[in-house]
Amino acid sequence: MARNQKAKDQKTIVLGVTGSIAAYKSAELVSLLVKQSHNVFVVMTEDAVEFITPLTLQTLSKNPVTTSFYNEKENWRPGHIELADEADLFLVAPATAHVIAELAHGLAHHPLTAIALATRAPILIAPAMNGKMWEHPATQENVEKMKSRGVEFIGPEAGMLACGYEGVGRLWKVEDIAFRAEFLVRRHDRLIA
């Protein structure tokens, strides 16, 4: 493939990682997205860094990882706005009930939610949480509110949860998330072409 063609085909995916036990699966997701020839930038919540280190995701993505607004001291332009502008897709996987609520209500007190407010790229959310939390009317109302704004959800799926319960709340299969991300990036590319 010609060098110019590869650069044209390479899309920027901003991956938000939240404080779910499923955060460890974000390493595999980053690897799959990079293998699809995407430029991946990871944005982690403060809780996410308790489950997986930024260094792991930085090494796999080959890009700096944003964990705080205070990481953005190298440039006059806020890094989260730059990521929002450059994104061809904003993917949050895993997404906790807390972050889904923040996104539904337009709160932006950390880079992940600020990017969601500022980007005009398609947004894909892959929830992961306790089944009772997922099924709670507040969570379902937040999901419906986001869907009405054009946000797409993938999952969660049923199975044994980290909390010991069986139910709906597991992160969707990472390979399927990567496949859906690829589809959305290509569809968005065709729509703006």
Let me know if 163 is a catalytic residue. Answer: yes
Return phi, psi of residue 166, to 5°: -105, 135
Of 21, 108, 163, 168, the catalytic one is 163
Distance from the Cα of residue 114 to its chain's centroid: 13
Other C-beta atoms closer than 10 Å to the C-beta of 177 total: 25
**Quick one: which H or E segment has residue 154?**
none
78, amino acid identity: P
Return phi, psi of residue 165, to 5°: -85, 155
- DSSP annotation of 105: T
**Cβ neighbours for 10, distance < 8 A, ≥ 6 positions apart:** 37, 38, 39
Strand partners, 12: 39
Range 131-134, long-range pairs (CB < 8 A, 24+ positions): 131/158, 131/161, 131/165, 131/166, 131/167, 131/168, 131/169, 132/165, 132/167, 133/97, 133/169, 134/97, 134/167, 134/168, 134/169
Residues assigned a catalytic role: 163
